[in-house]
């Protein structure tokens, strides 16, 4: 089994804001995983160089058939992509109204002007996320309830789509895991507990 991070902040792997550190401390160090099966972003490179390097690593894993490729696009087809969501509706490092939402030709891209610190981030693109067999979005907290509502409920065309709403696996499954506070503004007629 291969474990790949879908986004990373432009900080060292040992920094408190590192997604790698969060994943390692919270999960990867607690389960029997072969260290060479965990792929992370090279934190010694610039955001652009790190995105290019990470995409190269993933393309090598596809080339060796360690990761399969989608049958409807040239994107890798991951078994599972696990996402969180910010209060602004961002997933991975895909922020509302950011030009990177339109990135279609890359598997991995970068931003240097993140609306949340730190400014440099590396992220999977929407086509990669939407090519996954399974996508799980895990959200907790009342501060995210409005974004959950806008991402899940039918809110009409007056609201620009949040990145979380743009997560729609083409031939896969999307599952939301919400605590009661995050789900507090949802139209309860559309789901069951």
For 55, the 3-state DSSP assignment is helix
Whole-angstrom CA distances from 83 to 44, 90, 137, 180 are 25, 10, 5, 18
Residue 48 pLDDT > 70, yes or no? yes
pLDDT for position 81: 94
pLDDT for position 21: 94
Q: In angstroms, rounded to a whole number, what is the distance separating the alpha carbons of residues 80 and 133?
A: 6
End-to-end CA separation in angstroms for the chain: 31
pLDDT for position 174: 97
pLDDT for position 155: 78
- Mean of per-residue pLDDT scores for the chain: 92
pLDDT tens, position by position, 138-180: 999 999 999 999 999 987 777 778 999 999 999 999 999 999 9
Complete domains list, the chain, with CATH: 3-190 (3.40.50.1360)
Least confident stretch, 67-71, 76-80, 156-160, 176-180: 156-160
- Residue 156: CB atoms within 10 A of its CB come to 6
**Local confidence band at 192 (pLDDT 50, 70, 90 cut-offs):** low
């Amino acid at each position: 089994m291969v474990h790949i991070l879908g986004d990373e902040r432009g900080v060292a792997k040992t920094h408190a804001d590192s997604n790698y550190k969060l994943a390692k401390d919270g999960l990867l160090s607690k389960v029997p995983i072969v260290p060479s099966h965990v792929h992370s972003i090279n934190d010694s490179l610039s955001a652009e160089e790190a995105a290019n390097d990470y995409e190269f690593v993933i393309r090598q894993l596809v080339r060796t058939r360690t990761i399969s490729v989608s049958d409807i696009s040239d994107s890798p087809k991951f078994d599972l992509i696990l996402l969180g969501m910010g209060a602004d509706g961002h997933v991975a490092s895909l922020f509302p109204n950011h030009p990177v939402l339109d990135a279609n030709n890359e598997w991995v891209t970068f931003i240097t002007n993140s609306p949340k610190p730190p400014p440099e981030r590396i992220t999977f693109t929407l086509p990669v996320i939407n090519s996954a067999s399974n996508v799980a979005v895990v959200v907790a907290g009342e501060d995210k309830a409005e974004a959950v509502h806008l991402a899940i409920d039918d809110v009409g065309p007056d609201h620009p789509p949040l990145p979380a709403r743009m997560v729609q696996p083409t031939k896969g499954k999307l599952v939301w895991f919400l605590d009661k506070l995050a789900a507090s503004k949802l139209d309860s007629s559309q789901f069951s507990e």
